[in-house]
Every structure is written in structure tokens, then in C-alpha cells.
């Protein structure tokens, strides 16, 4: 499924771009008559969340706690929703979402934690490309999965009698595979585009992980064409699924308003509110980061938005989906009370 190595090869990513000399500590002289006076970039340096030494221990403790909760909470949701009583398609998508949250947090947070306690903020050229690939792949896939979850809620509420037929095993597996394949294509294209740009130094990435906006800020070439391509990708990855979600929920709300019982309307809407919260946070932060990658937000704002979708949302999802779902809470309580009971 992952085409990154091939993409790197065909896009010229097996070797770093040619640069003017900047700092010999992270550059090496290229060989050959055509590259005689040029150097090759071999690594980047991540600035991290803070440059103040007195804050490092506090940040390490805070994000270690958040990451531990992310792993434990999403793993628990993954196991609980696999319970035989929770066989509805929405719980299948919830397990996929938990897996994606664990993966994207594990792609970014561990490297960030290392930087808090040491000077190990350097990341190799290939390592940076690999991290960028997985961040985009997992993030784009989650955007599509959230749209698939909205479609699942639409079918369940607006067409309940045919819900089991429409959202059968083949249909929901196809939606997940389509989401993964689309995310993979987007990530390969974006990663290849970024790492075919010409970097002139310095090699310091003013971020806590390798991402599109800080990387293109290091490029000395004209990135206007790439920015247009990024805008197009953002529309396909964020705004197209978001429009589908809006249409789905417009139909859902219209159907809910037809329910005569106020209690019935409340229960029906409560099944969708958790998903709406996650969609708002995830799509909102993603669009602000990638819609205009070179916009002059302050560094603190850029970092905050990035933390939302890489560290905060993966930690919040278990709370959002468990505390607001009576079925999940019921199975969770039974599992904790008697873990041997099936």
C-alpha cells in the first residue's frame, strides 16, 4: 500500500537537493564536476515547542501524560468496541479512527518528547520525508474516515430499515480501503512535491515535526505553483469531505425535526454530537494550517493548531466517544467490573 520508497526514487528523493553552502556542520560537499561548488543537505534541525531550558521538563511530563492517555484510551476504545454487543458499523469506523489516532500521535509525539530531554532535535533528510509522508497519509485518511462516519449516521437515521443492508461488511470495508488509498495518493504527491523543492538553508525547521508549511518556508525557489497545488489538495482532502458531512447532517437534522417526541429527538441527535465535535476540531485546525501554508500566523498559533490534530484530538477522542455514548460506557463498565465476562 505504501508507495513512499518508489516515490522517493522517482522524485529524486534518494539524494538531497543541491544547495549553496550554508553551514558545514550539517552539509557535505558533493562530488562530480557539475556539483563541484555545491553542497548537499543531509539533515534538518527541529526547533521543538520551546527554546527555554526551564520549560523542557514540564513539557516532557505534560506531553508524556497526554501521549500515555492517547495510547491507553484509544486502545481501550478499540477493544471495547470489538465487544459482540457493539456490532453496528459505526463502532467498526470508531475502531479505525482509534487506530489512526494512535498512529498519528506515535508518528509525532515520541520525537518531540526526545527533544525535551536532550539535544536530539536533528532529523535526517530521509527521516523528515518519512515523517511527513506518514503525517499526511494518516491525517488525510482520517479526514475521509470522518466523512464515512457521517454517511454511516445518515443511513442509520434517514434510512434505518435498510441500514444493515446498505452498510454491510463489504460496504464499510470498501469505504475504509478507499479512504486509505486516497490518503496514500495524497501523501505521496505532497511529499514528492515538497522534497523536490530547492532548499538553500538554514536547515532549522521552526516546528516540532516535519510538516509542509515550515518546510516550504526553507525553500529559496518560487513556491507559488506548489502553494496552488497544496490549495487544491486541501480542497480535496478537507473541504470536499466536509461538504459531504454538511449535506449528511442537513438531511439528518431535517429527519430529526420530524420526530414528534422531544426525547426521541434528543437521543437521535446525541448519537451525532460526538462526531460533530471531532469534525469541527479536526477540519478546523487542518484547514487553518494547510489552506494557506505560507500565511504569516504567529509561531505560537501555528504550533497550537498543529498540536490540536497531532496530539490533542487523539487524546480527546476516547473521552468524546465514550462519555457521550451510553452503549460504550455500559460495555466499558461491565468490562472493568468483570473483565472475564464476555
Per-residue pLDDT of 241-281, as tens digits, reads 999 998 998 898 888 888 777 776 777 677 677 778 888 88
**Residue 45: partners with Cβ closer than 8 Å, 6 or more residues away:** 26, 121, 122, 123, 203, 204, 205
Whether the pLDDT of residue 23 is over 70: the answer is: no
- The per-residue pLDDT for 296 is 58
The more confident residue out of 34 and 297 is 297
Residue 21 C-alpha cell reads as 553552502
Q: Are the C-beta atoms of residues 131 and 111 closer than 8 Å to each other?
A: yes
- Cα distances from 234 to residues 39, 157, 303, in angstroms, run 33, 29, 19
- The per-residue pLDDT for 30 is 42
CATH placement of domain 43-337: 1.20.1070.10
- The per-residue pLDDT for 11 is 46
**Residue 321: partners with Cβ closer than 8 Å, 6 or more residues away:** 77, 94, 274, 328
Locate all alpha helices (DSSP H) within 159-239, ordered by sequence. 163-166, 169-194, 212-217, 224-234
* Cis before 224 (ω within 30): no
154 sits in which H/E element: helix 125-158
- Give the model's confidence band at 295: pLDDT under 50 very low, under 70 low, under 90 confident, else very high: low
Minimum mean pLDDT range among 41-55, 89-103, 201-215, 276-290:
41-55
- The per-residue pLDDT for 91 is 86
- The per-residue pLDDT for 198 is 79
- Top mean-pLDDT range of 53-62, 224-233, 244-253, 301-310: 244-253
**Residue 120: partners with Cβ closer than 8 Å, 6 or more residues away:** 114
Q: Dump pLDDT digits (tens) for 206-234.
A: 888 888 888 888 877 777 888 888 888 88
Domain coordinates of the chain in residue numbers? 43-337
Backbone angles phi, psi at 207, to 5 degrees: -160, 175
- Cα distances from 281 to residues 89, 221, 240, 341, in angstroms, run 23, 33, 16, 36
- The per-residue pLDDT for 5 is 45
Q: Dump pLDDT digits (tens) for 156-165.
A: 888 888 998 9
- Top mean-pLDDT range of 54-63, 140-149, 212-221, 295-304: 140-149
- The per-residue pLDDT for 19 is 40
Nearest residue to 255 via CA among 114, 325, 146, 159: 159
**Residue 3: partners with Cβ closer than 8 Å, 6 or more residues away:** 184, 188
- Give the model's confidence band at 173: pLDDT under 50 very low, under 70 low, under 90 confident, else very high: very high
Eight-state DSSP code of residue 199: B
Q: Dump pLDDT digits (tens) for 319-339.
A: 887 766 777 777 777 766 665
- The per-residue pLDDT for 107 is 94
Give percent above pLDDT 90 in the chain. Answer: 26
Report the mean per-residue pLDDT for the chain. Answer: 79
Q: Dump pLDDT digits (tens) for 95-149.
A: 999 999 999 999 999 988 888 877 667 888 889 999 999 999 999 999 999 999 9
- The per-residue pLDDT for 9 is 46
Q: Per this entry, what is the length of the chain?
A: 342
Stated pTM of the model: 0.81
Q: Find cell 521543538 and name the residue.
A: 48
Residue 282 C-alpha cell reads as 479536526
Q: Are the C-beta atoms of residues 19 and 35 closer than 8 Å to each other?
A: no
Eight-state DSSP code of residue 219: B
Amino acid at each position: 500500500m505504501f508507495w513512499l520508497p518508489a516515490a522517493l526514487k522517482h522524485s529524486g528523493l534518494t539524494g538531497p537537493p543541491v544547495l549553496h553552502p550554508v553551514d558545514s556542520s550539517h552539509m557535505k560537499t558533493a562530488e562530480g564536476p557539475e556539483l563541484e561548488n555545491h553542497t548537499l543537505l543531509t539533515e534538518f534541525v527541529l526547533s521543538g515547542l520551546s527554546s527555554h531550558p526551564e520549560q523542557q521538563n514540564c513539557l516532557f511530563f505534560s506531553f508524556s501524560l497526554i501521549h500515555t492517555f492517547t495510547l491507553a484510551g484509544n486502545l481501550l476504545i478499540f477493544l471495547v468496541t470489538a465487544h459482540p454487543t457493539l456490532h453496528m458499523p459505526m463502532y467498526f469506523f470508531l475502531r479505525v479512527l482509534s487506530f489512526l489516532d494512535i498512529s498519528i500521535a506515535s508518528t509525532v509525539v515520541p520525537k518531540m518528547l526526545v527533544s525535551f530531554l536532550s539535544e536530539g532535535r536533528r532529523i535526517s533528510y530521509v527521516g523528515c520525508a518519512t515523517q511527513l509522508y506518514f503525517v499526511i497519509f494518516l491525517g488525510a485518511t482520517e479526514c475521509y474516515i470522518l466523512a464515512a462516519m457521517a454517511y454511516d449516521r445518515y443511513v442509520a437515521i434517514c434510512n434505518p430499515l435498510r441500514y444493515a443492508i446498505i452498510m454491510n461488511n463489504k460496504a464499510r470495508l470498501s469505504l475504509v480501503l478507499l479512504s486509505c488509498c486516497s490518503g496514500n495518493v495524497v501523501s505521496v504527491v505532497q511529499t514528492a512535491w515538497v522534497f523536490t523543492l530547492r532548499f538553500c538553508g538554514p536547515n532549522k525547521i521552526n516546528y516540532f515535526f516535519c510538516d509542509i508549511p515550515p518546510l516550504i518556508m526553507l525553500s529559496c525557489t518560487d513556491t507559488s505553483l506548489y502553494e496552488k497545488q497544496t490549495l487544491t489538495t486541501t480542497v480535496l482532502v478537507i473541504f470536499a469531505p466536509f461538504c459531504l458531512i454538511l449535506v449528511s447532517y442537513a438531511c439528518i437534522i431535517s429527519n430529526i425535526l420530524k420526530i414528534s417526541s422531544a426525547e426521541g429527538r434528543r437521543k437521535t441527535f446525541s448519537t451525532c454530537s460526538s462526531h460533530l465535535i471531532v469534525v469541527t476540531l479536526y477540519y478546523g485546525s487542518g484547514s487553518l494550517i494547510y489552506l494557506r501554508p505560507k500565511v504569516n500566523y504567529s509561531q505560537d498559533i501555528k504550533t497550537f493548531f498543529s498540536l490540536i490534530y497531532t496530539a490533542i484530538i487523539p487524546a480527546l477522542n476516547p473521552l468524546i466517544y465514550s462519555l457521550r455514548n451510553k452503549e460504550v460506557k455500559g460495555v466499558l463498565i461491565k468490562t472493568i467490573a468483570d473483565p472475564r465476562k464476555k
